[in-house]
Amino acid sequence: MNEHLSSQQITNLLLDEVSETEQRHLSECASCRAELDHLRNAFSLYRRAGQEWSEHWMTQGASARQPSGPRWFGWWAVGSALTIAALAAVFVFLPSTTFQRAREEPFVSIPYVVPAASYERTQVIRMEVPVAALRSSGMAVQTRDAGNSVRADVLVGQDGRALAVRLVERRLN
Amino acid sequence: METAITAEVDEFEAVVRTHRQRIFRFALASLRDRDAAESVTQDCLFKAYKSWSQFRGDSSVLTWLMRIAVNLIRDATNSRRFRFWKMRAVSIDSVSDWISDSGRSPEEQVRAKQQVEAIWRICDLLSERQRTVFLLHFMEEMDASQIEAVTGITKSAIKVHLFRAVHLVRSELKEWR
**Predicted-complex ipTM score:** 0.87
Is the pLDDT at A155 greater than 60? The verdict is: yes
| Cross-chain Cβ contact B38/A159 below 8 Å | yes
Rounded to the nearest 10 degrees, what angle do helices A30-65 and B2-31 cross at? 110
Helix (H, G, I), strand (E, B) or coil at B78: helix
**CA separation, residue A89 to residues A75, A84, A85, B45 (Å):** 21, 9, 6, 47
DSSP H or E stretch at residue B20: helix B2-31
Is the pLDDT at A13 greater than 50? The verdict is: yes
Helix ranges, chain A (H): 7-14, 20-28, 30-65, 70-93, 131-136
**Residue A120 pLDDT:** 72
Task: Determine which of A43, A110, A119, A124 to mutate to test the interface with B (most B C-beta atoms within 10 Å).
Answer: A43
What's the mean pLDDT in A155-169? 78
Task: Determine which of B39, B82, B90, B145 to mutate to test the interface with A (most A C-beta atoms within 10 Å).
Answer: B82
pLDDT tens per residue across all 177 residues of chain B = 567 667 777 788 899 999 999 999 999 999 888 888 999 999 999 999 988 888 877 889 999 999 999 999 999 888 765 565 554 445 556 677 778 777 778 888 888 888 898 998 899 889 999 999 999 999 999 999 999 999 999 999 999 999 999 999 988 887 666
Q: Give the span between the Cα atoms of B134 and B119, in whole angstroms.
A: 10
Residue of chain A minimizing CA distance to B36: A159
**Residue A141 pLDDT:** 72
| Cross-chain Cβ contact B169/A42 below 8 Å | yes
Please tell me if residue A161 touches chain B, with a CB cutoff of 8 Å.
yes
Closest listed residue to residue A173, CA positions, set A86, A95, A99: A99
pLDDT digits (tens, 9 = 90+) for A46-63: 999 999 888 888 886 555
Phi, psi of A166 (to 5 degrees): -140, 130
Residue of chain A minimizing CA distance to B117: A46
Helix (H, G, I), strand (E, B) or coil at B96: helix
Please tell me if residue A110 touches chain B, with a CB cutoff of 8 Å.
yes
User: For residue B132, which amino acid is it?
Assistant: T
Strands A149-156 and A108-109: what pairing?
A: unpaired
Q: Answer with the residue of higher pLDDT: B85 or A90.
A: A90
Mean pLDDT value across chain A: 73
Is the pLDDT at A38 greater than 70? The verdict is: yes
Kindly list the residues from chain A whose CB atom is less than 8 angstroms away from the CB atom of residue B80: 161
| Cross-chain Cβ contact B79/A113 below 8 Å | yes
Closest listed residue to residue A24, CA positions, set A50, A2, A57, A47: A2
Residue B104: count of CB within 10 angstroms of its CB? 14
pLDDT digits (tens, 9 = 90+) for A60-88: 655 554 433 344 444 555 566 666 666 66
Is the pLDDT at A158 greater than 70? The verdict is: yes
Least confident of A23-27, A146-150, B144-148: A146-150
Residues linked to residue A151 through DSSP beta bridges, in sequence order:
A128
